[in-house]
């Protein structure tokens, strides 16, 4: 194939890389040599090389069920097809015979159940939509047909749905294994084999599954279930094998993960009797569980799950005695974790912490059936056998804690292995079976920020399975090529054997790890240096040393580079049982525990001096055991026909309808799906049946459709015409090398574009000619219409000119009349405005004069009140200071007297006298209170009398207003203002009187309250008289202080009453004065009203008369002002001003305004 740019043209849909979405869609807008200018769906433009922009597949709604049918099989095509199907809840997709299952994180009940099992039973693979039942049915039918073992390998990362998929497979196999032609097989007398196989799942999940950050029910061990079938296809037995249980989780849990489910189920599901028997408490009380704050799972009831676990134990055939022993052992592990140690002696030894540590030590010993002292010794000491005899070495607190955790991990691992063996014994493996189907549920490839020994072993297992997977995919490709009878001998197979040799080969990483574990003082850094100096590691391209990490190494796996930390490799690789633990628990009184630790004695190798002795422990390597297990597993898988299911976790938040491209691509890469795509691309990735090929590429040779050639011959001639090389023609399909399909699509697009250009040229010429003729006709029609329009416009202009002249004549006459009328109205308006202005000026002068008088009155009253308030405040401050000084002096005297212990008896007697005096004082105060009440009643009567007088004054004012109604308008206005001021002052007096009354009531209430408080205090003192000698000083100070306060309050109340009386007297005098003022004002107003009628007329010559009403009223007001101070004087001033304003000045002539009005021209 030539350059990659030949497959791209303008408008080609391609994929380009993206940092967030991994791949995104784009369109080619220009081709520049080996560079493409692209526009994304968001409108952004970018450039990239042609080889970095793979072509998009034709848009298929909902994707394709088998991705081998995609025209372009590459990474973005696989990703987009899975995404499209996932968004439509099509979670299963084929890649050949490989099933890809995407976790929906939601319930899809319509996809599972007996109705779906019946639908897929007997259907060929690919006949129906992709489904896990289809894979299980294909394995079962192929097993029945060939009588050869089948294996179903389920892999994926934590949370991808491996466990649920394995359950569905086993349910289907149990369904098919119990199916007979006559119907369902009814089990009698006990559970059937298929029921026991299904019930083993919840049991192993309880003891081997836990919550992790990614999954709430993550399997922390690998599981291979082999189901045996007889010649009739009925289940005859089964066997379960487990791999690499995560022991460290028993003693260390990260937040917010959880420990194994069984611990929480036992703590919440055990009955009261069982909790007492097994010494159980809440999960939060155990150290192995409370390292994380997560104790509950959403939607999971631990108590109900415990019942399910017990039921599963019963169904698989575990008797109640063994169930009791298992739960007892689980409780012992929890109690063991709560044993804490403290340093003893010189700090090199340790003992259980007094209190809870010793209590949990006794509980653990009782539950395990061992001696308490023996358990304490096994945890805090270490015995080493030497030729001279055993040496017992104490352990410090840290080493004892590690020893405790090691024992807990060993007990749990042995119990888990015993449980698996018991399940196998209960179900029973049929060694004479006709064939079997194995289901492998194993952990997927793992790569974290911190990778430890567990990730190393898990990735080793995935490398082995990936090699098996690659061989199977290559084998399938070979089978298809052989069916189509094409040549495939030159296709190279890419293997990962070099990684396996690096890890498990001779003197590989596992061998070097085992060798380093034999040195007691070796560390992780020593292991890393040994690996770096190894010739096998240095020569391998897959092994590298990190730049910044000293005790770490990096391996290039098939899914990417992974860096492993060596710090814990040595400890986790050692699988040994301490001799003290073995001897102690092997002799336990609890039969179950003794069986777990039963082991024949093992002699140690001779030492350097030729002697023999027992070591402190039996060394065993986890890596070597796991390597052997993997070898046995791969041997068994190679003897079977494999079927693959790859589980994908679409997002990291466990939510439905959310597909993260980058995360999913990483899992496809780790699961080997993209590796399978690369293997397919190494051969003939583009395969199309002849009819489909002809239907798609016939435009490259359209003349061949008119011949009688068949589709195979037409396809051959089309390819020959394009000039491709390296293709193959099979029996039913055309096989093209990588990129050839894109090249043919480019030629097809160019051919279709060329034909489209010729069609467009002819159509555009025809349309141009047709448009020209239509334009000519429209121009002629437009010219005639325009000329007629101009003629009509000229005629219309002449008519409008004549009409305008007529309208102007009439409008000018109307405008002249309107102007005259406007001038006439303006003259009238000016006259009225001048007269109104004159009247307003006089009124404004009167208003300003009245306002100035009111302001002066208010300001003078304010100054008087302010002076009074300042003097009163100063007096109060002086009084307070003086009283405080006197009180301090008395306090100092009292304190001096209290210090004299010799006067205690005299003070006691004096206090008794004081008590009697207080009682007398209380009677006096009560009498004074009654007098105050009488005074308040008198004040209320006086207040009522004042109100009555106010009402009489108001009546007199009303009468005065009626009499003054006949007065002149100016005099009436003055009287009204005087009356309003009088009413205002009356209201002010009422307000002050109300305030005084309210203040007196408040003071009276306070006085009564204080008197009641004094009475209560005296009563309490009388009751506590028996204790007066012990509390003498405090009582004396308190009594004197309260008495002084009461006396002071009484004096203040008396002073306030006297002040109220003085104010009442002043108010009475003020009211009397105002009554006289009102009387005088009424008399003056009456005189002013009568004066005009009795005054003589002016002289004929215009000179002023001897006595006028204005002058007479002025004299009356002057006399009234001399005698009436304050408010009456203000009324007098106001009336004088009014009278003087109304009186013309000397020399003025009456009727001036009339004369001025006569001189004003009247245009009317």
Q: Is 158 a catalytic residue?
A: yes
With bands split at pLDDT 50, 70 and 90, how would you rate the model's confidence at 1026? low
Beta-carbon neighbour count of residue 271 at 10 Å? Answer: 10
What are the beta bridge partners of residue 555? 543, 562
DSSP class of residue 900 equals -
The residue annotated as part of the active site, out of 95, 151, 163, 165, is 163
Q: Is 470 a catalytic residue?
A: no
d(CA 1068, CA 77): 109
Q: Quick one: what percent of the chain has pLDDT higher than 70?
A: 84
Q: Quick one: what percent of the chain has pLDDT higher than 90?
A: 31
With bands split at pLDDT 50, 70 and 90, how would you rate the model's confidence at 735? confident
* CA-closest candidate to residue 285, choices 216, 250, 335: 335
With bands split at pLDDT 50, 70 and 90, how would you rate the model's confidence at 1082? low
Query: For residue 661, what are its two tokens?
Result: 């491209």
d(CA 184, CA 887): 108
d(CA 688, CA 719): 13
d(CA 11, CA 988): 96
Per-residue pLDDT tens over the stretch 697-713: 888 888 888 888 888 88
d(CA 788, CA 797): 15
Query: For residue 745, what are its two tokens?
Result: 């699509």
pLDDT at 972: 60
pLDDT at 331: 96
Is the pLDDT confidence value at 1161 over 50? no
Is the pLDDT confidence value at 1147 over 60? no
Whether a cis peptide bond, with omega within 30° of 0, leads into 256 is yes
β-strand 45-49 against 389-394: which pairing, if any? unpaired
Least confident of 343-352, 749-758, 1091-1100: 1091-1100
Helix (H/G/I), strand (E/B), else coil: 28: strand
Mean pLDDT of 91-102: 89
Least confident of 142-151, 568-577, 769-778, 891-900: 891-900
Output 1064 or 1095, whichever has higher pLDDT: 1064
d(CA 1049, CA 1046): 5
DSSP class of residue 400 equals H
* CA-closest candidate to residue 325, choices 598, 584, 588: 588
Is the pLDDT confidence value at 604 over 80? no
Q: Is 304 a catalytic residue?
A: no
d(CA 844, CA 1141): 13
Is the pLDDT confidence value at 74 over 90? no
Mean pLDDT of 869-885: 88
The residue annotated as part of the active site, out of 199, 305, 446, 580, is 446
d(CA 455, CA 566): 12
pLDDT at 1103: 39
β-strand 209-210 against 218-219: which pairing, if any? antiparallel
Least confident of 12-16, 461-465, 618-622, 921-925: 618-622
Maximum mean pLDDT: which of 229-238, 358-367, 396-405, 668-677: 358-367
pLDDT at 977: 77
Which burial class, exposed, middle or buried, applies to 298 when counting CB atoms under 10 A from its CB (0-12, 13-18, 19+)?
exposed
Output the DSSP codes for 546-614.
-SS-SSEEEEEETTEEEEEE-TTHHHHHB---BHHHHHHHHT-SSHHHHHHT-----PPPP-TTS----
The residue annotated as part of the active site, out of 155, 218, 350, 664, is 218
**Which positions ≥6 away from 1129 have C-beta within 8 Å?**
1121
- For residues 191 and 209, is the Cβ–Cβ distance under 8 A? no
Which burial class, exposed, middle or buried, applies to 713 when counting CB atoms under 10 A from its CB (0-12, 13-18, 19+)?
middle
Mean pLDDT of 1061-1079: 75
- Residues 778-795 as b/e (b if ≥16 CB within 10 A, e otherwise) read eeeeeeeeeeeeeeeeee
DSSP class of residue 19 equals T
d(CA 140, CA 147): 10
The residue annotated as part of the active site, out of 161, 444, 508, 1113, is 444
Is the pLDDT confidence value at 586 over 50? yes
- For residues 266 and 306, is the Cβ–Cβ distance under 8 A? yes
- For residues 629 and 460, is the Cβ–Cβ distance under 8 A? no
φ, ψ of residue 566 to 5 degrees: the values are: -90, 0
Output 303 or 1123, whichever has higher pLDDT: 303
Per-residue pLDDT tens over the stretch 793-815: 999 999 999 999 999 999 999 99
- For residues 961 and 1133, is the Cβ–Cβ distance under 8 A? no
pLDDT at 1069: 80
Is the pLDDT confidence value at 743 over 80? no
Q: What is the largest CA-CA distance in the chain?
A: 172
The residue annotated as part of the active site, out of 151, 192, 215, 436, is 215
Beta-carbon neighbour count of residue 1151 at 10 Å? Answer: 9
d(CA 527, CA 558): 24
Maximum mean pLDDT: which of 137-146, 603-612, 717-726, 1035-1044: 137-146
**Which positions ≥6 away from 607 have C-beta within 8 Å?**
387, 613
Is the dihedral angle over the CA atoms 55, 59, 60, 63 positive or is it negative?
positive
With bands split at pLDDT 50, 70 and 90, how would you rate the model's confidence at 1137? very low
Per-residue pLDDT tens over the stretch 836-856: 999 999 999 999 999 999 999
Query: For residue 495, what are its two tokens?
Result: 């293997």
d(CA 23, CA 36): 16
Is the pLDDT confidence value at 203 over 60? yes
First-residue to last-residue Cα distance in the chain: 116
Place of tokens 């389920």: 154
d(CA 101, CA 96): 14
With bands split at pLDDT 50, 70 and 90, how would you rate the model's confidence at 966? low
Query: For residue 603, what are its two tokens?
Result: 């002699």
Q: Is 149 a catalytic residue?
A: no
pTM of structure = 0.59
Per-residue pLDDT tens over the stretch 11-47: 888 999 988 888 999 999 988 877 889 999 888 999 8
The residue annotated as part of the active site, out of 84, 158, 1114, 1132, is 158
d(CA 445, CA 561): 12
β-strand 222-229 against 22-32: which pairing, if any? unpaired
Beta-carbon neighbour count of residue 321 at 10 Å? Answer: 10
Mean pLDDT of 942-967: 72
- For residues 16 and 26, is the Cβ–Cβ distance under 8 A? yes
Q: Is 723 a catalytic residue?
A: no
Beta-carbon neighbour count of residue 421 at 10 Å? Answer: 11
Q: Is 46 a catalytic residue?
A: no
Least confident of 20-34, 622-636, 664-678: 664-678
For the chain, give the mean pLDDT.
81
The residue annotated as part of the active site, out of 96, 159, 269, 1113, is 159
pLDDT at 679: 65
CA dihedral 563, 567, 572, 577 (to 10 degrees): 170
What are the beta bridge partners of residue 17? 23
Q: Is 347 a catalytic residue?
A: no
Maximum mean pLDDT: which of 308-317, 1051-1060, 1073-1082: 308-317
The residue annotated as part of the active site, out of 219, 349, 401, 406, is 219
Is the pLDDT confidence value at 1130 over 80? no
């Amino acid at each position: 194939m030539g350059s990659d740019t030949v497959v791209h043209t303008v408008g080609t849909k391609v994929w380009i890389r993206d940092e967030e979405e991994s791949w995104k869609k784009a369109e080619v807008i220009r081709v520049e040599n080996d560079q493409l200018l692209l526009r994304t769906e968001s409108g952004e433009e970018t450039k990239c090389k042609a080889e970095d922009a793979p072509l998009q597949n034709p848009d298929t709604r909902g994707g394709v069920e088998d991705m081998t049918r995609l025209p372009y099989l590459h990474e973005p095509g696989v990703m987009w097809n899975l995404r499209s199907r996932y968004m439509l809840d099509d979670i299963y997709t084929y890649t050949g015979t490989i099933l890809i299952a995407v976790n929906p994180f939601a319930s899809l009940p319509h996809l599972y159940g007996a109705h779906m099992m019946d639908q897929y039973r007997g259907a060929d693979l690919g006949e129906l939509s992709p489904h896990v039942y289809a894979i299980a049915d294909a394995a079962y039918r192929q097993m029945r047909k060939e009588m050869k073992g089948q294996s179903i390998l389920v892999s994926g990362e934590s949370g991808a749905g491996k466990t649920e998929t394995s359950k569905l497979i086993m349910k289907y196999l149990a369904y098919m294994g119990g199916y007979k032609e006559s119907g369902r097989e009814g089990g009698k007398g006990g559970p059937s084999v298929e029921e026991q196989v299904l019930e083993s799942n919840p049991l192993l999940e309880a003891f081997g599954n836990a919550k992790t950050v990614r999954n709430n029910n993550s399997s922390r061990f690998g599981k291979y279930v082999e189901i045996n079938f007889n010649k009739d296809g009925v289940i005859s037995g089964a066997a379960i094998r487990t791999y690499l249980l995560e022991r460290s989780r028993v003693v260390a849990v990260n937040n917010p993960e959880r420990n194994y489910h069984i611990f929480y189920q036992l703590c919440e599901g055990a009955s009261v009797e069982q909790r007492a028997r097994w010494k159980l408490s809440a999960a939060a009380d155990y150290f192995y569980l409370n390292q994380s704050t997560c104790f509950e799972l959403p939607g999971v009831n631990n108590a109900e799950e415990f019942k399910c676990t017990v039921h599963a134990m019963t169904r698989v055939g575990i008797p109640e005695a063994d169930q009791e022993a298992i739960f007892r052992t689980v409780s012992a592990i929890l109690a063991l974790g709560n044993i804490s140690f403290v340093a003893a002696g010189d700090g090199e030894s340790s003992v259980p912490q007094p209190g809870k540590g010793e209590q949990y030590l006794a509980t653990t010993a009782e539950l395990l059936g061992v001696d308490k002292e023996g358990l304490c010794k096994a945890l805090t000491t270490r015995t080493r056998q030497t030729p001279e005899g055993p040496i017992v070495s104490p352990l410090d607190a840290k080493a004892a804690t590690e020893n405790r955790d090691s024992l807990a991990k060993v007990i749990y691992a042995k119990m888990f292995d015993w449980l698996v063996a018991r399940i196998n014994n209960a179900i029973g493996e049929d060694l004479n079976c006709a064939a079997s189907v194995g289901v492998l549920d194993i952990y997927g490839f793992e790569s974290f920020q911190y990778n430890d020994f567990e990730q190393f072993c898990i990735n080793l297992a995935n490398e082995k399975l990936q090699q098996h997977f690659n061989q199977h995919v290559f084998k399938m490709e070979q089978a298809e090529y052989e069916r189509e009878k094409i040549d495939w001998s030159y296709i190279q197979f890419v293997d990962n054997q070099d990684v396996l040799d690096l890890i498990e080969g001779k003197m590989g990483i596992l061998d070097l790890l085992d060798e380093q574990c034999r040195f007691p003082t070796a560390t992780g850094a020593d292991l890393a240096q040994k690996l770096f100096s190894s010739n096998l590691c240095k020569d391998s391209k897959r092994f590298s040393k990190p730049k910044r990490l000293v005790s770490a190494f990096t391996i290039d796996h098939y899914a990417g580079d992974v860096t492993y930390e060596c710090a814990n490799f040595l400890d986790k690789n050692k699988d040994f049982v301490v001799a003290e633990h073995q001897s102690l628990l092997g002799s336990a009184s609890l039969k179950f525990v003794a069986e777990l630790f039963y082991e024949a004695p093992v002699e140690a190798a001779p030492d350097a001096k030729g002697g023999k002795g027992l070591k402190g422990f039996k060394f065993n390597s986890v890596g070597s055991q796991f390597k052997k297990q993997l070898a046995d597993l791969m041997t068994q898988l190679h003897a079977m026909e494999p079927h693959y299911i790859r589980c994908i976790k679409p997002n990291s938040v466990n939510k439905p309808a959310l597909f993260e491209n980058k995360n999913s691509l990483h899992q496809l890469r780790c699961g080997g799906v993209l590796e399978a795509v690369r293997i397919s691309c190494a051969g003939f990735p583009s395969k199309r049946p002849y009819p489909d090929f002809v239907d798609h590429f016939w435009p490259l040779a359209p003349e061949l459709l008119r011949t009688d050639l068949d589709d195979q011959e037409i396809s051959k001639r089309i390819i020959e015409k394009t000039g491709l090389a390296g293709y193959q023609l099979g029996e039913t399909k055309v096989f093209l090398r990588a990129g050839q399909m894109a090249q043919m699509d480019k030629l097809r697009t160019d051919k279709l574009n060329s034909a489209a250009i010729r069609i467009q040229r002819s159509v555009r010429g025809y349309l141009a000619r047709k448009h020209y003729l239509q334009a000519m006709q429209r121009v002629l029609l437009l010219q005639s219409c325009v000329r007629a329009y101009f003629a009509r416009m000229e005629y219309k202009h002449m008519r409008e000119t004549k009409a305008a002249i007529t309208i102007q004549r009439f409008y000018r006459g109307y405008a002249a009349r309107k102007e005259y009328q406007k001038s006439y109205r303006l003259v009238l308006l000016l006259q009225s405005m001048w007269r109104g202005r004159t009247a307003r000026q006089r009124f404004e002068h009167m208003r300003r004069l009245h306002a100035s008088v009111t302001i002066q009155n208010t300001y003078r009253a304010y100054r008087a009140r302010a002076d009074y308030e300042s003097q009163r405040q100063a007096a109060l401050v002086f009084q307070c200071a003086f009283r405080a000084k006197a009180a301090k002096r008395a306090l100092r005297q009292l304190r001096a007297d209290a210090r004299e212990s010799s006067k205690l008896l005299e003070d006691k007697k004096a206090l008794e006298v004081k008590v009697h005096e207080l009682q007398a004082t209380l009677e006096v105060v009560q009498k004074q209170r009654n007098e105050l009440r009488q005074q308040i009643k008198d004040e209320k009567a006086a207040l009522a009398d004042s109100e009555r007088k106010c009402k009489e004054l108001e009546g007199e004012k009303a009468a005065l207003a009626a009499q003054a109604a006949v007065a002149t308008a100016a005099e009436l206005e003055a009287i009204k203002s005087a009356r309003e001021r009088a009413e205002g002052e009356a209201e002010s007096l009422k307000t002050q009187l109300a305030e005084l009354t309210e203040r007196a009531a408040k003071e009276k209430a306070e006085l009564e309250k204080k008197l009641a408080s004094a009475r209560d205090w005296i009563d309490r003192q009388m009751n506590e008289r028996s204790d007066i000698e012990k509390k003498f000083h405090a009582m004396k100070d308190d009594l004197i202080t309260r008495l002084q306060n009461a006396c002071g309050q009484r004096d203040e109340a008396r002073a306030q009453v006297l002040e109220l009386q003085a104010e009442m007297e002043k108010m009475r005098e003020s009211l009397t004065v105002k009554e006289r003022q009102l009387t005088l004002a009424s008399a003056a107003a009456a005189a002013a009203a009568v004066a005009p009628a009795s005054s003589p007329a002016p002289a004929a010559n215009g000179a002023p008369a001897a006595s006028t009403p204005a002058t007479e009223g002025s004299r009356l007001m002057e006399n009234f002002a001399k005698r009436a101070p304050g408010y009456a004087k203000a009324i007098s001033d106001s009336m004088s001003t009014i009278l003087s304003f109304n009186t013309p000045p000397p020399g003025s002539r009456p009727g001036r305004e009339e004369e001025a009005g006569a001189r004003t021209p009247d245009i009317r």
